[in-house]
Structure 1
Amino acid sequence: MHIVTTGEGDASSPRTTRPLSTVLKALALLDFLADLDEPVRVSALARTVGASRGEVHRHLVTLEAAGWMEQLPDGSYRLTLRPAHLGHTALRQAGVGERTAPLLAEAARACGEVVSIAVLDADTARVVQRAEPGRALHATLLLGDRLGLRSSATGRLLYALADAETAGALARLGVPLPPEDDVALIRSTGWATSTDDAEDGIAAVAVPLCREDGRTVAALSVHGPRERITSTGALAVLRPLTRNIEPLLRLDGTAFGLRA
C-alpha cells in the first residue's frame, strides 16, 4: 500500500489514498515494454497484455506526449532514452554508483572481467551497477539488463537465498527456476555459477550482498568468457569485495532504487 500525505492536518498521521488506476496501467505497460527487444505495434501489444486496442493506444499516445515513447514511420512504438535517464538518476540518488563504482572498477581491473551488482526485480535479476576492466571485451553485460533466475549466476543465487514468501510467489507465477538440488547446493556453499547449458559462451560466478541480519538483498558477480572464468579465481575477487561493499551500503530494497 502506498501512503500519500497531504499538506493538511498532522503530517505524522498520513491518510491512505487510492492510487490512480490509469497511471498504474501506464507504468505496468512501461515495465512490459522494457522487456522487448524490438518496436511493437498497438494490436500486438494489446493482445499480449490482454487489454483493448483503444486502451493500449491511449496509453502509448500519452507516454509519447510525455517523452517516454516514440512512434516510428511504420506505426510501431518503442521506448525513448528517457527511462534510461530516470534509471541512472535513481541509482545516483540512492548512492549506489557513488559508493560502489571505485570498488567495482578496481575489482574489474584485477580480474580482467565485468563485475556487477544485481537485485531481484519481480521475476528476474536486474543489473543496477557494473564496471569494466578497461579493455575490449567480447562479453557484454549492460546496466539495466535483466537475467533469468534459472540459468544466470545472479538469478540463481538471488532465488536460492530469497525468503520463503518470495520464492513461493515466484514458483506460483510459473517463472523458470533452478532445480531444487542446485538451490540446496547454492544455499550450502553461499555462491552460484551460471549453468552449463548457456549457448553464448559466457559464464559468471555470483556471491550475495547481505544486511546485518543476514538477509540477501543483492548479488555481486564476475561475468566473462567461459574459458576465462573459474570459480576459484572469481571468488578470490568477489569475497574481499563483498566485505568492502556491504558496510558502505544501506542494504535494503530502496538502496538500489527499487521497491522492497
Structure 2
Amino acid sequence: MHIVTSGGEDSSPRSTRPLSTVLKALALLDHLAGLDEPVRVSSLAREVGAPRAEVHRHLVTLESGGWMERLPDGAYRLTLRPAHLGHTALRQAGVGERTSPLLAEAARAAGEVVSIAVLDSDTARVVQRAEPGRALHATLLLGDRLPLHSSATGRLLYALADEESAAVPARRGVPLPSEDDIALIRATGWATSTDDAEDGVAALAVPLCREDGRTVAALSVHGPRDRITSAGALAVLRPLTHRIEPLLRLDGAAFGLRA
C-alpha cells in the first residue's frame, strides 16, 4: 500500500489529526457498553446529545461492520464482537499471562474467587479472575460489570479515581458511594461490598497502583458472606498486590487508560 503525503507536511502520528467520525462512533460504542438493554435510535440520540440522523448513520455503519445488531422491533444492541476484541486486547497486553498464576495461587489460598477489575466509564468491569478449583456458590465471570455504589471493586475504584474519571459516572447520574464511604475507603485503602443480596455474596477489594500512586485497578476476593472476613481477605490480597504491580508494569495502557 502506498501512502502519499505532501512534501512539507509532517506525517508523524503526533501531527496527524484523528477522524472525528471515528471518534464519535467509538464514543457511541463506549456509551452502548454501559447499557443493559437494546436501545432505539431516538432514545440513544437523546442520551448522547447528538442528531438522530447522525446516530442512525453510526449505528448502520457499526451494524455493517458486525459490531451492532438490529432487532425486528427496530432497536439496536451490541454483538459479541466487542467482547472478542476485549479478550484479544488482554492477551496482547499480557495481563492474563502475567497475572493468571498469581491469581490462581491466591484463589487457592483464599478458597474463593480472586479477580482484577477496572473502572469502565460508569461501572467496574472484571478483566481477570481465578477460581480456587472447587465448587462455589458465588460466581463472578470475566467481563461482568459491577455497580459503583455497592460492589467492593466499584466502590474502591470510584473512591480512588482521579477527578476526570470520577466526573463521568457523576454526570450520568448513576448511584455512587456516599461521601462518608469515600472518606473511609481512602483512609483504610480497601472497600467491601454493601449490597445485601439474598445469595449472601460478599467481597473485599484493594487497589493496584502505578509507581506514581495512581489506582488503575482493583484486586478483590469474592465469595459467600459467611466465609469472607476482612482479616482473611486482606491477608491474601495485600501481599498479592506487591507481586502483581511490578509484573503488570502498571503504565495504564494495558487497562485502556489515558496518560
Deviations 1:105-132 (A, max 9, x none): 1212222222111122223222221112
Task: Provide the C-alpha distance between the structure 1 equivalents of 2:203 and 2:139, rounded to a whole number of angstroms.
Answer: 12
Aligned AA for 2:224?
P
- Structure 1 position 14 matched with structure 2 position 11: no
Pairing 1:1-260 to 2, within 5 Å after superposition: 14-17=14-17, 19-164=18-163, 166-167=165-166, 171=170, 174-198=173-197, 201-260=200-259
> Judging changes above 3 Å, is the alpha-carbon distance between structure 1 residues 244 and 13 closer, same or farther for their aligned structure 2 residues?
closer
Q: Match of 2:242, SS?
A: helix
1:162/1:216 contact within 8 Å kept: yes
Task: Provide the C-alpha distance between the structure 2 equivalents of 1:245 and 1:108, rounded to a whole number of angstroms.
Answer: 14
Question: Structure 1 residue 160: deviation in Å?
Answer: 2.2
Question: Structure 1 residue 258: deviation in Å?
Answer: 3.8
> Judging changes above 3 Å, is the alpha-carbon distance between structure 1 residues 252 and 139 closer, same or farther for their aligned structure 2 residues?
same
Q: Percent identity?
A: 85
Aligned AA for 2:27?
A
Question: Structure 1 residue 64: deviation in Å?
Answer: 1.3
Task: Provide the C-alpha distance between the structure 2 equivalents of 1:28 and 1:228, rounded to a whole number of angstroms.
Answer: 41
1:94/1:257 contact within 8 Å kept: no
Q: Match of 1:252, SS?
A: coil
Question: Structure 1 residue 101: deviation in Å?
Answer: 0.8
2:193/2:203 contact within 8 Å kept: yes
Structure 1: segments with no counterpart, 5+ residues: 1-5
Task: Provide the C-alpha distance between the structure 1 equivalents of 2:136 and 2:224, rounded to a whole number of angstroms.
Answer: 9
Aligned AA for 1:229?
I
Question: Structure 1 residue 93: deviation in Å?
Answer: 1.1
Question: Structure 1 residue 188: deviation in Å?
Answer: 2.0
Task: Provide the C-alpha distance between the structure 1 equivalents of 2:40 and 2:91, rounded to a whole number of angstroms.
Answer: 33
Q: Match of 2:101, SS?
A: helix
Structure 2: segments with no counterpart, 5+ residues: none
Deviations 1:119-163 (A, max 9, x none): 222232222211122334332322222222221111211222234
Q: Match of 2:109, SS?
A: helix
Q: What is the RMSD computed on CA atoms of the aligned residues?
A: 2.7
Question: Structure 1 residue 33: deviation in Å?
Answer: 2.0
2:62/2:68 contact within 8 Å kept: yes
1:115/1:223 contact within 8 Å kept: yes
Q: Match of 1:14, SS?
A: helix
Question: Structure 1 residue 206: deviation in Å?
Answer: 0.3
- Count of aligned pairs between the two proteins: 254
Task: Provide the C-alpha distance between the structure 1 equivalents of 2:158 and 2:37, rounded to a whole number of angstroms.
Answer: 28
Task: Provide the C-alpha distance between the structure 2 equivalents of 1:235 and 1:113, rounded to a whole number of angstroms.
Answer: 13
